[in-house]
Amino acid sequence: MTIGLTAMVRKEFRQVLRDPRTLGILLLVPLMLLVLFGYAVSMDVENLQVGLVDADRSAESREVSALIDNMDLFTHAGFFDSSREAELAMVDGRLDAVVVLPRQFGRDLSAGRVPTVQILVDGSNVTVASTAQASLTATLTRMAVRTETASPVDFRPRTWYNPELRSTVFLVPGLVAFIMVITAVISTALSVVREKEKGTMELLEVSPLSPAVLILGKTIPYMVISLVETTLILLAGRLLFGVEIHGDPALLLLVTTLFLLSCLGIGLFISTAVESQQTAFLLSTVVTVLPSFILSGFVFPIRNMPLIIRLVTNIVPARHFLEAERAIIIRGAGFESIWPQAAILALFSAVGLTISGLRLGRGGR
C-alpha cells in the first residue's frame, strides 16, 4: 500500500510539474488576491472632488474655499462661474459635489441673517453622494456656528441623477460589465482551446481560411450572444429596478461593442497561449474576471486605492467601459464626455484582435 501511494503521489507531482503555466497560476493567484484585496478593496470614501460657485467673493466665501482645501476628505476641484458650468463638469465625471454660495453670503452671515447655500451632489454613486452631502453640511455648519442665529445657514442639498440614492442605479451598469466579461472572455478563451483538444484546430490551420476570417468566425457568435445578453440585462434593470438609460442608446451600443471587442481579443489571445481548457479558464479568471470585479470601480472606489494600484487599473478595459457606461446611463452624458474612454477601448480592441490574429496565423504559437 505504501509503495502504491508513493508511486501515485510521485505521478501526480510529475503531472503538475509538466504544466508550469498552471502551476504558476496556482501559486501566484493567492499572492495576487492578497495584494488586490489588501490594497484595492476599501469602502471608505476619500478625495471627494468638490467645486465651488462663489457669487459673493467675500472673506467668508474665501473661508469656505479654505475649509474645502484643508479637509482631508475633500479635494478642491476649482471655481466655477455658474451652476450650469459646474453641472457640465459633473456630467463629465470631474466633480462629486458643488457648493453654491449666493451673493451677500458673507454679509448675511455676519449680520446674523440666514444665507441660503446650495449643495449639489452627484448621486450616481450612492456611498460617495451620501458622504459628500453629510460632510459638506457638517463642515459649513461648523464654520457658521459663530453667528448668533438659531440656524446659521439654510442648506439646500440637491442630488442629481439619482435623487433617491438607490444603490441599484449604481450597481446594474456594473453588473452589465462584469457579466459581459464572464461571457465574452471565458467563452472565447475556451473556444480555440477546445479546437486544439479535439484536434480540429489543425484542420482549420490547413484550410484556405485567412487569420482574419478565423478571427471573425470566432468573435461574431460571441459578440451577438453578448449583445443580446446586455440588452436583456438592461431591460431587466428597467423593468425590475427602474434603471433608465438617460443618454443616447446608440452611443451606449457603440461603447458596449468596443468593450466586447476588447474582451473577445483578450479571450482569443488567452486561447492561443494555452493548451487546455482548464488552464484557459483559470487564466481568464485571473486576468479578467477578478480585475474587472476589484479594479474597475464596479464596487470599490478607484480613488481610494494606492497610486500604484490606480495606475494598474488603467489597463483594465472594464474600468473605462464602466466610466463611460455609467456616464451615459445615469448622467445622460454625450460623446464629448466619454470619448477618452471610447478611444482607449478602441485601442484595446485593435491591439488584442491584431495580436490574436497573428498568433492564430502561426497556429496559436
Give residue 84's domain range: 48-160
Strands 97-101 and 154-160: unpaired
Q: What is the pLDDT of residue 259?
A: 94
Mean pLDDT for the stretch of residues 313-331: 92
Q: What is the pLDDT of residue 4?
A: 59
Mean pLDDT for the stretch of residues 278-295: 81
Residues in the chain: 365
Q: Are residues 201 and 321 in the same domain?
A: yes
197-229 pLDDT, tens per residue? 776 665 655 566 666 666 777 777 878 888 888
Q: Are residues 152 and 88 in the same domain?
A: yes
Q: Are residues 105 and 196 in the same domain?
A: no
Q: Is the pLDDT of residue 341 over 70?
A: yes
Q: Are residues 213 and 311 in the same domain?
A: yes
Confirm whether 38 is domain-assigned: no
Q: Are residues 135 and 171 in the same domain?
A: no
SS3 127: helix
Q: What is the pLDDT of residue 159?
A: 80
Containing 20, the helix (H) or strand (E) segment is helix 20-35
For residue 196 the three cell numbers come to 486544439
Residue where one domain finishes, among candidates 134, 160, 186: 160
Q: Which of 6-15, 201-210, 255-264 has the highest mean pLDDT?
A: 255-264
145-179 pLDDT, tens per residue? 655 544 566 777 778 888 777 878 888 888 888 88
Q: Are residues 147 and 235 in the same domain?
A: no
Tell me how many domains the chain contains.
2
Confirm whether 29 is domain-assigned: no
Q: Are residues 205 and 253 in the same domain?
A: yes
CA 42 to chain centre: 15
Q: Are residues 54 and 151 in the same domain?
A: yes
Name the nearest CA neighbour of 140 among 113, 158, 118, 123: 118
Q: Are residues 218 and 138 in the same domain?
A: no
- Give the integer Cα–Cα distance in Å for 290 and 121: 30
- Give the integer Cα–Cα distance in Å for 83 and 101: 10
Q: Which of 50-59, 76-85, 280-289, 344-353 has the highest mean pLDDT?
A: 344-353
Mean pLDDT for the stretch of residues 242-256: 91
For residue 229 the three cell numbers come to 445578453
- DSSP readout, 293-331? HHSSSSSS-GGGS-HHHHHHHTT-HHHHHHHHHHHHHTT
Confirm whether 9 is domain-assigned: no
Q: Are residues 201 and 258 in the same domain?
A: yes
Mean pLDDT for the stretch of residues 34-60: 74
Residue 348 pLDDT class (50, 70, 90 cuts): very high
- Give the integer Cα–Cα distance in Å for 158 and 138: 16
48-94 pLDDT, tens per residue? 888 889 888 888 788 888 888 887 788 888 888 888 888 888 888 88
Mean pLDDT for the stretch of residues 97-121: 82
For residue 56 the three cell numbers come to 459673493
Mean pLDDT for the stretch of residues 18-27: 64
Q: What is the pLDDT of residue 19?
A: 66
Q: Which residue has the higher pLDDT, 361 or 115?
A: 115
Q: Are residues 113 and 86 in the same domain?
A: yes
Residue where one domain finishes, among candidates 109, 128, 160: 160
Residue where one domain finishes, among candidates 160, 185, 214: 160
Mean pLDDT for the stretch of residues 34-57: 73
Confirm whether 12 is domain-assigned: no
Confirm whether 237 is domain-assigned: yes
- Give the integer Cα–Cα distance in Å for 99 and 54: 8
Confirm whether 296 is domain-assigned: yes
- As a whole-number percent, the residues of the chain with pLDDT over 70 amount to 78
Q: Under a CB-based contact definition with an 8 Å cutoff, are residues 292 and 259 in contact?
A: no
pTM: 0.77
Confirm whether 334 is domain-assigned: yes
Q: What is the pLDDT of residue 116?
A: 81
Q: Are residues 107 and 245 in the same domain?
A: no
Name the nearest CA neighbour of 219 among 157, 263, 169: 263
